[in-house]
Amino acid sequence: MPDNTFPRTGNSAGNGAAPALSRRRFLSVAGQGAAVSAGVAAAATGPLLAAPAAAGPDPNIVPVPNWSKALGAGVNVNPYGKPSKFENDVVRREVTWLTASSESSVSFTPLYALDGTITPNGLCFVRHHGGEAEIDPDKYRFMVHGLVDRELVFTLEDIKRMPGRVNRAYFLECAANSGMEWRGAQLNGCQFTHGMIHNVYYTGVPLRAFLDVAGVKPKGKWVLAEGADAAVMTRSIPIEKALDDCLVAFAMNGEALRPEQGYPVRLVVPGWEGNMWVKWLRRIKVGDQPWQQREETSKYTDLLADGRSRRFTFIMDAKSVVTSPSPQAPLKQKGPTVLTGIAWSGRGAIRRVDVSLDGGRNWTTARIEGPNTPMSMTRFYLDFDWGGEELMVQSRAMDDTGYVQPTKQELRAIRGTNSIYHNNGIQTWLVRSNGETENVEVG
Amino acid sequence: MWKSAEALIVAAALAGTFAAASVSAVADPASAKGEATKAGAQAKGEKAPDKDKARQAVNVPAAARPGVPPAKAIALGRPALPEEIAAWNIDVRADGEGLPAGKGSVKQGEELFLQSCAVCHGEFGEGAGRWPVLAGGRGTLKSDRPEKTIGSFWPYASTVFDYVHRAMPFGNNQSLTPDETYAIVAYLLNLNDLVPEDFVLSKENFPKVSLPNEATFYDDDRETTEKSFWKAAPCMKDCSGEVHVTARAQILNVTPDADPPKGNLE
């Protein structure tokens, strides 16, 4: 098929090197247009009927396409494989006005184009505070010290020789995910409103193993996790969490951590805000009180309407979002429609997800499909027949503690609009009768 | 879940293999501060530790080190040397633990700040472009546009010292001496009207410095103040009256892609 059947927009200003969102997904492909219209008509008159016969042979069938007649590329043209060139608009994107420099910024996961529950390694959102550290694995060192019986240094080899290695899937959500939406709808696309999240299968060793070997003294109540990057990122973590389910991870989705995700070693802090998952982990110090570091005082604290601030709001509460339809993935056809989205909770497993098509007046329980484990992303679907009416699409997650994702109004009533962090309010997408979809607020 | 007791039995078996290995005598070059980053400190004739020896180095048996409680099984990791811990142990706590010896004046701090910090933070900490504002903002925390600065928001001065030393100047972090760091912190406190112009900040007087907003921070209370979000049976039918769109993202037009995709059913 010639490339010119896939019209693309040019790069837009302020979007860096990332290709602009392609219109390919949303425009009818030459030769299918007739079938699309016919399909809509068929759905309107008799939903169980197949689309009527085409007027003439589909040029994608007759003549037989070239890819069926000539040899394709060999097995190792791309020794490290990459996505189809027709998917090259599925990339992380920045919002350049958000931050002062790209070394201390964020790029967002293209949730609108993904399915299933695991985020591909190259699409996991990236947040740096001092750029991406490049660490030779032979020179990597991990130190455990402070209120312990034995202050120790481990090499990467040591970590990989520790007994008790585990594999666990967990979501990592930045506390600031949806932070731009506190005052109202701002960004048109779930990539930007909800894209500071990824869900990855980690391989690593429980942090507890290292603390046990070091021997935590009875006075040890907190640990300080520290990175080796130029931000020398630090966070205080209560000892109970450190001994419970934190991992010293060296692999993601079966391969070594990506450099931008902390190669060779990062901390995994299941269900808790992403900033605590220290990348390029170099040090765990045990102490008897939190360290009051920059990222747990001036940042990642929640300023409320009364001028006071919550601190140590570690847990990410239950949240969900419909990823399709969404502004970057509008509806293309009337008739059978697969609505899909993701849900997650830092308190446990997702028990149920409800979907509303009328702005929250009426709800239907969605179908959860695939893995549904604690503190990991859960995929949901709602298959429905769209007649072309305007929709106000929402999703509402419930976890196994009984927590129900609140509306934005419910959140603002308690917290005001200055919080920045921990915005887990219900998202509304307005789907117009032409399929175009927009980020809105309803009331 | 991982059972530490079981793993330690395995570890105990491994430990026997290495019990006789000795500790590396030289600080690990990958963790010793300066060696990796500062040219001057590099080759003072120090030999890199023998790689194989370092690999095999394990803890000295507990009995060999007085004052250490009997070890659980240890097979991996080697003792951290004091100079290695010193190189990385840079954190400063709110109670002053971790502060190095030293002092610096507001005046010295002003010079350093103009040299190394003002390009991003402005001469008076007012911030340039999108870089953080460091001074002012008192009394704005309840307003529509709170200005969260050291003086208006940060709870502890120790955080300023820790962070300036740890991660500043941006792109040249850990280049400031303790005295220079004290001086810059003193200048920042002065910009926030918290200390006079002739103030000299030191390890000794640091605990006396408190920031005005400290008392307004409190621990996460969501499980009580947001208890209403736990609902046995959330509403499924006719949950509200008519629903209208009250705000739209397109009006703000801040999405990076200037040409949002369209549906194709026109």
**A222/A182 same-domain check:** yes
pLDDT tens readout for residues B200-221: 999 999 999 999 999 999 999 9
- Chain B closest-CA separation from residue A232 CA (Å): 6
For residue B113, how far is the Cα from the chain centroid? 21
Query: Which residue of chain B is at minimal alpha-carbon distance from A234?
Result: B91
A434 burial type by CB count under 10 A (0-12 exposed, 13-18 middle, 19+ buried): middle
Name all domains of chain B by residue range, CATH numbers in brackets.
Answer: 4-88 (no CATH), 103-216 (1.10.760.10)
Count of positions (residues) in chain A: 443
Pair A177, A299 in one domain: yes
Cα distance between residue B155 and residue B176, in whole Å: 23
**Residue A278 sits in the same domain as residue A221:** yes
pLDDT tens-digit series, residues B10-62: 333 333 333 333 344 455 555 544 433 433 333 333 444 444 443 333 333 43
Q: Which range among B58-72, B116-130, B206-220, B224-238 shows the weakest confidence by mean pLDDT?
A: B58-72
CATH of the domain at A198: 3.90.420.10
A20: its two tokens: 């602009």
DSSP A409: H
Q: Give yes or no: residues A201 and A257 share one domain.
A: yes
Q: Which of B29, B76, B249 lies closest to A154 in CB terms? A: B76
What is the domain extent for residue A283? Answer: 126-310
Asked if residue A416 and residue A285 are part of one domain, the reply reads no
Q: Is residue A426 within 8 Å of A394, Cβ to Cβ?
A: yes
Q: Hey, which residues does B218 pair with through a beta bridge?
A: A310
B3 to chain A: which residues are within 8 Å by CB?
Answer: 164
Q: Please answer whether residues B36 and B90 qualify as being in contact, where contact means their C-beta atoms are separated by less than 8 angstroms.
A: no
b/e map B182-214, b = 16+ CB within 10 Å:
bbbbbbbbbbbebbeeebbbbeeebeebebebe
Residue B54 is predicted with a pLDDT of 37
Find the CB nearest B142 among A215, A294, A306. A306
Do A376 and A302 share a structural domain? no
Position with higher pLDDT, A97 vs A440: A440
Contact predicate B191/B135, CB 8 Å: yes
CB-based burial of residue A280 (10 Å sphere; 0-12 exposed, 13-18 middle, 19+ buried)?
buried
Has residue B69 got a pLDDT over 90?
no
Q: Which chain B positions have a beta carbon within 8 Å of A141's beta carbon?
A: 28, 30-31
The per-residue pLDDT for A52 is 80
Residues A300 and A336 grouped into a single domain: no
Contact of A388 with B264, CB cutoff 8 Å: no
Please report whether residue A409 resides in a domain: yes
Among A268, A287, A310, give the residue marking a domain's end. Answer: A310
Provide the shortest C-alpha distance from residue A66 to chain B (in Å). Answer: 28
- The total of other beta-carbon atoms located within 10 Å of residue A58's CB is 11
CATH number at residue A349: 2.60.40.650
- Domain-embedded: residue A323: yes
Q: What residues pair up with A397 in beta bridges, in sequence order?
A: A353
Residues A288 and A155 in one domain: yes
Q: Which residues of B touch A401 (CB under 8 A)?
A: 230
Compute the CA torsion angle A9, A13, A19, A23 (nearest 10 deg): -30
Give the separation between CA B175 and CA B33, rounded to whole angstroms.
Answer: 11
For residue B70 the two structure tokens come to 């009997």
Q: Which of B80, B58, B173 is closest to A228 using CA atoms? A: B173
Tell me: the pLDDT tens digits for A108-145? 999 999 999 999 999 999 999 999 999 999 999 999 99
Q: What is the pLDDT of residues A33-84, one digit of tens each?
A: 333 333 333 334 444 566 788 899 999 999 999 999 999 999 999 999 999 9
Torsion angle, CA of B255/B259/B265/B266, rounded to 10 degrees? 120
**Is residue A30 predicted with pLDDT exceeding 50?**
no
Q: Which residues pair with A268 in a beta bridge?
A: A247
Q: Do A307 and B141 touch (CB under 8 A)?
A: yes
DSSP B8-39: HHHHHHHHHHHTTPPPPSS--TTTSTTTTT-S
Q: Which chain B residue lies closest to A182 (C-alpha atoms)?
A: B144
Separation in Å, CA of A171 to nearest CA in chain B: 18
Closest CA to A252 of A145, A373, A120, A440: A120
Structure tokens, A257: 């951590």
| Domain co-membership, A262 together with A331 | no
Chain B: nearest CA to A67, how far in angstroms? 28
**CA A263/CA B237 separation, integer angstroms:** 49
Whole-number pLDDT of residue A427: 98
Structure confidence by residue, pLDDT tens digits, A277-310: 999 999 999 999 999 999 999 999 999 999 999 9
First vs last Cα of chain B: how many Å apart?
55
pLDDT band of residue A95 (cuts 50, 70, 90) is confident
| Among B10, B30, B221, beta carbon nearest to A139 | B30
Order of all β-strands in the sheet with A367-369: A319-324, A335-344, A378-386, A367-369
What domain count does chain A have? 2
* Confidence at residue B251, expressed as pLDDT on a 0 to 100 scale: 56
Tokens of A155: 């090499």
Q: Which residue has the tokens 């001065």?
A: B157
Tell me, yes or no, whether A280 lies in a domain.
yes
Chain B residues touching residue A96 (CB < 8 angstroms): 256
Q: Is residue A95 part of a domain?
A: no
Quote the pLDDT of residue B232.
Answer: 87
Number of residue pairs across A and B with CB atoms under 8 Å? 342
Q: Mark whether A324 and A297 lie in a shared domain.
A: no
- Closest-CA distance of chain B to residue A224, Å: 9
A56, part of any domain: no
